[in-house]
Amino acid sequence: MMGIRQAQKDLFSYNIDLDKRIRKGNPLRAIAERIDFTFVRQEVAEQYGYNGNVSEDPAVILKMMFLLFYDDVSSERELMRIITERMDYLWFLGYRLDDEVPNHSVLSKARQRWGEEVFHRFFVRIIGQCIAAGLVDGKKIHMDGSLIAANASKDSVIRGHRNGLRR
């Protein structure tokens, strides 16, 4: 007998282990196993106060920014929409299925608070970890080979004089 799945929202949340749901070959597993993002907490600790609202974990913020570039996500707003739909992103960030994803402004506020110099140090440190873990070897170089349509005619070229002066 053919079964038909009836879509119905669950009344209760069940403990779903995302670790079991993410395939072993998922590239984010290799990154999570070999790259330690928690160093960021110590690097930015002085930029946070002791009173007020609790911030998002700086290690999670850095992982979110990593995902922006890793999967070439077009914007921070788009990333926050995607996170809720992708179990591998949730798993990588340490979220559960029912956890609320922060507003996109968390990323821009962190970028502003931490500053460009701090991000440069993060980049250097993470690249160093990638090299040490064998995730990057420097043997492949990527170049931009974009084709740009030119709007010029061969007849528009003006020949110059050898010494740079036109006749």
pLDDT per residue, tens digit, the chain (167 aa), is: 444 556 666 666 667 888 888 999 999 999 999 999 999 989 888 888 888 788 889 999 999 999 998 898 999 999 999 999 999 999 999 998 888 999 999 999 998 999 889 988 998 898 889 889 988 877 777 676 777 776 767 677 666 666 555 54
Residue 101 · residue 80 · CB < 8 Å: yes
pLDDT value of position 130: 87
pLDDT value of position 2: 43
Burial 38-51 (b: 16+ CB within 10 A, else e): ebbeeebeeeeeee
The Cα–Cα gap between 1 and 4 comes to 10
The Cα–Cα gap between 124 and 141 comes to 18
List the structure tokens of 69.
């570039």
The Cα–Cα gap between 65 and 122 comes to 11
Burial grade of 132 (CB within 10 A; 0-12, 13-18, 19 or more)? exposed
pLDDT value of position 79: 96
pLDDT value of position 24: 94
